[in-house]
A = this chain, B = another copy of it.
Amino acid sequence: MISKEQERTEEKETGRLEAFSDGVFAVAITLLIFQIPIPHGGSLLKQLGGQWPFYTAYVVSFLTILIMWVNHHALFRLIHRTDHLFLILNGLLLMLITFVNYPTAVLAEYIEGSDGRIAAMLYSGTFIVIAVLYNLLWRYASGSHRLLSKRADPLLIATITRQYRFGPLFYVVTFLLAIINAPTSLAVNTLLALYWAFAGRAKSPKTEAGAR
């Protein structure tokens, strides 16, 4: 009886953490639009055309944060408890998610100049850190079943652990490409975002169903 009540209290706590995280995701993803500067004077068509790096970076960052939000939710379907360290790890993840606004603007600003490669490295580097933080968060939560629901499917847990392990590698590739050529790195980041959005999780409804 006490166990039931405590379980409910714990799920409520987790729900609040998720709601706060969703709030930060929602604000961070919406603020991206402010990274596109409003043109002033001059030929508008020419100005809009010259802003292609801002549009591209906006779309890629939006899709990437969107996919990260989807992943965050997928984790919280399995996580039913929180503790102090988990709150902090999740907070660090949110810090990096909101930070994405900064490299997005820097990349758009510098991609066409001689420092484009540094800007592209900063951009992909941010995504590497985020992917590593997702691994840390998940390892901490799933290690010896620390914060997971008792009903979490072991097969699904193993699948997530395996998928997450490879997450940072993709961004390491775009980081290495950035050392050679900035637009190519951004192009591959675009393809990655589109792939994950439209193809990468085609089987997720099934695995998601297995989460309960």
Give the residue name and chain of the B residue nearest to A23 (CB).
B26
Q: Can you list 24 A-B pairs with a CB-CB distance of less than 8 A?
A: A9-B212, A16-B18, A16-B22, A19-B19, A20-B25, A24-B26, A26-B26, A26-B27, A28-B30, A29-B94, A31-B33, A31-B34, A32-B98, A34-B34, A36-B102, A39-B109, A43-B115, A44-B110, A63-B91, A66-B91, A70-B84, A84-B201, A84-B204, A88-B197
A120-164: contact bitstring with B at CB < 8 Å (1 yes, 0 no)?
001000000000000000000000000000000000000000000
Chain B residues with CB under 8 Å of A212's CB are 5-6, 9
Does A44 contact B119, Cβ atoms closer than 8 Å?
yes
Task: Provide the residues of chain B in CB contact with A40, threshold 8 Å.
Answer: 109
Classify chain A: how many residues form its interface, as a range: 35 or more
Q: Which of B38, B91, B198 is within 8 Å of A85, CB to CB? A: B198
Q: Is A62 an interface residue (CB 8 A)?
A: yes
Please tell me if A59 contacts chain B, counting CB pairs below 8 Å.
yes
Q: Which B residues lie within 8 Å of A66 (CB)?
A: 87-88, 91, 94-95
CB-defined contacts of A174 to chain B, threshold 8 Å:
none
Q: Say if the beta carbon of A118 comes within 8 Å of chain B.
A: yes
